[in-house]
Amino acid sequence: MLLVAGCVIVRADEGMWMLNRIDPKTADAMKQLGLELTPRELYDPEGVSLKDAVVDFGDFCSGVVVSPNGLVFTNHHCGYGAIQSLSTPEDDILKNGFVAHSFEEERPAEGLFVRFLQRTEECSGRVMRAMDAIYRSHPTVPARQLEREKLDSICREVEREYSKANPGMDCQVKSYYGGNAYYVSIYKVYRDVRLVFTATETLGKFGGDTDNWMWPRQTCDFSVFRIYADKDGNPADYSADNVPLRPKRYARVSIDGFQPGDFCMTVGYPGSTSRYLSSWGIRERVEDRNVSTIQVRGKKQEVWKRWMSQDRAVGIKYASKWAGSSNYWKNSIGMNKAIADLDVIGQKQRLEKDIRQWYSGREDLNRRFGHVFDSLQTAYAARREAVHANGFFSETFMRGIEIYRVASMLNRTPQDVGEAQADATREQLTRFFKDYDARVDEETMATLLQNYREQVKNRDYWPDCYGVIDSLFGGDCGAYAHDLFTRSICVRPDCLDRLLSDSTLRDSDPALRYAQGIPDMMMHISRGMREPNNIISHNERLLTQALMEMDEDAPHYSDANFSMRLSYGYIQDYTAQGRHFDYYTSSQSLLDKAAKQGEIEDYRMEQDIISLLERGDWGRYADRRTHDLHLCFLSNNDITGGNSGSPMFNGKGELIGLAFDGNWEAMSGDISFDSSLQRCIGVDIRFVLFLIDKWGHADNLIRELGVK
């Protein structure tokens, strides 16, 4: 707790709040903590507000517009895919960094886009009325089955209606509060996005897997892009004639610094949380879903790492894929540990006991909610084996063995395919093969096929390829993989043309035959979960509804679903397991780690950067209290995946940092928020500007940002 503002004791609330639903209690709490902006200045669908400076970056991260010329800051790991795609062994900007000193030098990032939220409107009534009509027309079908079968189609119809009324906009309907409410968000999408600045990989990923999800951190996790539009400011595909976007609103950067207790707010796009999930759902997440992620990705990454270390070309090709895989591999490890350490399942069971006591004394409530817990327990038990198999199947065959993507693409392409579709498929294949190495994939296939056999004991969940492995290769997965990769056309970029010139390959090519059995098994596993899924979805929704009704006087936020959210709090340190962690890291802490680079590869750092930090000439970027350069810092903001790149604002709405990670001790945060432990890790904007200025010598950007 913290003493602020006229001796009123206040605490930051957990929560990922919808900007259009900030209730008076939440607004007052933010004001007491130090927010100087009104709710209308945060979100104004009719005018200009802070939300207009925040972007959905590529549908996987967040970002913030920081200049009148459409300059966007996000994390280095958010821009990583684009940076990697623009890198070659001859021009390795992933390793060496990149600085554009003029608009002409900026590099188009193919396929990258940003979305600006225009407004969010509730459409619960429209969705619920449509569902009620379906219930009436199908009186003999269980409501739980109708919900899963019909809701998606109803939401798509609402999206079509909004798209028709808002031409040129991207309209998305999503469920909130466990399916108890629905909102539509309307976005303007810009698809000409260009790379402006990236630091070296050693800075942008400093600490690597060693420090990922850990504190203290020294990672300068930022990259800079620019949004382009046509001459009228409208979205347009890439063209040399496009001009930098003149945004409605941009965030001003602040180099004034901050200290513990100062207000801090994130605005961004958190991806997914499960704070309302039942105790049975949490146990399934720990024992089945996370286990498969940890186990299979661990095996796959061993193979990838060996090849990436031996061959820089492979290292570039697999850099982005490695980052994505290893990030949630370590996340799952940390989540399982934190859920056990903090007794999260026990906490949820005690809450469920309170809910039982709340409804048990009232006939109307008992009629609505009395069956929920027994139904959940039974349904989770019924799908346990299938969920276990599904996790290992997805990680092995869908996310692990890459050649399936090529073979599946070819299997879906008819022999008499039209030229337009053929060209589109060739373009997809070109993108795939740019970042693919068949040697790596062959070893990955051999390793993961053997691993799946060992982890999923029920042969009913084995795809057809195991019959071939056992009958023709004596059970040797490595021999099967080598034969497949030796004989298949799917390892070659011209595979589509070869298939279209020889239709007999559809029956003889080993990779095409391998891929044919994967969807069938996937459907088989899914059918085994269908009825339990219906029951669980229906009753988890009722459980959320019961909790909200039981505690109806308290503000409630919805689980994250990659829609714009705000979290608020303040700068704060923490103590865990008897160790105190300060709220910031200094330049010396980076130098101390860099001194260990001979022992720890993730602490590797170029000598010119070490020399720059050793000089200690921080200038205007020095902290006014410590006179040092602050690198990263902590707040108690509530964030999760997708928040990466989210702007961290002070009470005036000025940019003080970019959120990029959470701390190890609170990795259960997607399930349960612990206010004493959970922290948001951000890169200090002064560290960002120092590198742009002193390392990149990008005076053009410093002037554009208006840094004083």
- d(CA 663, CA 434) in angstroms, rounded, equals 35
- d(CA 114, CA 526) in angstroms, rounded, equals 34
Locate 251 and state its tokens. Answer: 């965030």
Name the maximum alpha-carbon separation found in the chain.
Answer: 81
The amino acid that residue 198 corresponds to is: T
Choosing from 170, 221, 288, 559, which is the catalytic residue?
221
Locate 672 and state its tokens. Answer: 């349960």
- d(CA 376, CA 23) in angstroms, rounded, equals 32
Q: Give the contacts of 332 (CB within 8 A, at least 6 positions apart).
A: 290, 293, 294
Half-sphere exposure of 205 (CA within 13 A, CB side): 25
- Is 509 designated active site? no
- Is 388 designated active site? no
Strands 243-244 and 263-268: unpaired
Q: Which helix (H) or strand (E) holds 267?
A: strand 263-268
Choosing from 87, 644, 668, 672, which is the catalytic residue?
644
The amino acid that residue 383 corresponds to is: R
In the block, which residue shows the tokens 């070819």?
Answer: 410
Nearest to 662 by CA among 651, 650, 673: 673
- d(CA 27, CA 4) in angstroms, rounded, equals 16
Handedness of CA 456, 460, 465, 470 (dihedral sign): positive
Please state the length of the chain.
708
Q: Give the contacts of 306 (CB within 8 A, at least 6 positions apart).
A: none
- Is 77 designated active site? yes
Distance set, CA 227 to CA 294, 437, 699 (Å) = 37, 32, 20
Q: Exposure of 8 by Cβ count < 10 A (0-12 exposed, 13-18 middle, 19+ buried)?
A: exposed
Task: Tally Cβ neighbours within 10 Å of residue 467.
Answer: 12
Choosing from 76, 77, 388, 538, which is the catalytic residue?
77
Strand partners, 10: 2
Q: What is the 3-state secondary structure (H, E, C) of 148-208?
A: HHHHHHHHHHHHHHHHHHCCCCEEEEEEEHHHCEEEEEEEEEECEEEEEEECCHHHHCCCH
Nearest to 66 by CA among 269, 266, 253: 253
CA 536 to chain centroid: 25
Annotated catalytic residues are: 77, 221, 644
